[in-house]
Structure 1
Amino acid sequence: MTEILTPRLVLRRWQEDDLVPLSEINGDPDVMRWIGDGSVRDLEETAEDIERWEEEWDEEGFGVFAVELLGSGELIGAVGLSVPGYLPEAVPHVEIVWRLGRQFWGQGYASEAAQATLEFALQDRGLDRVVAINRSGNDESENVIRKLGMVLEQDTTDPRYGHLLQIHGIDLTEYEA
């Protein structure tokens, strides 16, 4: 089983007990504001997300992790890797994604988990490049992207929803520098 420990977090595969806490995170309009069309997700849609992420683990050898606090075991969100098939400009690269419960914002958890995931992608899984796709105006995610050392490469439009998106990237040589 793939698991990553950081100073404060455990990044791991999904378990049955994760469905309800993730559904509560997905049901918060502030959390979902920048994701997809901005709609909240219910329990069934959250189960579909987890199932899709687990399938990606099985098919690609990477996926989206459940993120829990190291001390308490409380689920705080999801961080990981995904193939951004919805955006032709980003294919064939792998995207790093994150989503944390609102009560966990502003504490460095997203950056800590994303940094561990980026290292996992480039060092453990042998990917030579990772992108981050950010909706224009989402300054909090932009800050995480900057902390990862990623640079803006391209502006584009989300073909599904018409939002302005920014594609940032980093390759293995830039990461190691």
Structure 2
Amino acid sequence: MSRATTTTYDDQIVSLLRQMSQLEKLTLSLEIGNRRTYVEGTHLNNEILSQMSYLRTFIFDIVTHIVDSNEILKSNDDVRRIFVQHVDGYIDYFPNKEGRCHLFSLPFTMKYMHAVTNNFPGGIFRKVRMSSIFDDIRSFEYDFFKRISHSFPLLNQLTVFNSIQQNEKRTQESYDNKKDF
């Protein structure tokens, strides 16, 4: 597992993984920076999984940051097309022609999940103990924190990166009246 962003995915990681054709189980946690296209289901299948005929278990949490790209995926379904039932993910588009794709296997069995944004689809991730949230475009509102608390019931550490002020401020009294948070 790596929490650092790599820019050597295409040059080193893909070729290294292709050499591991006898693997039966692969756990991959990557944050990939400075690509022109997303690492999504079709790419993983064509570039890595097709070379691993013995692979039975593939657990992954992959975030791709694209820059200066005109690549537009029509929906979140495009990133998970190949895997259908055993994957989820979402896409963030930023106004400066940058994007972010977060793709992860289900059930999610890692203790760390890469940073999630307001587009995080939710779900139940009982194994995750550590993560972060960030969004450079929108503020984190009460409903988002509620979704995070439900999705990660055993979370021990959450780091927040956001400089956008909340739109919907709640008083302590309104928090006390909400038993579901």
With the shorter chain as reference, the TM-score category is: 0.3 to 0.5
TM-score, normalised relative to structure 2: 0.32
* Larger helix percent: 1
Q: TM-score, normalised by structure 1?
A: 0.33
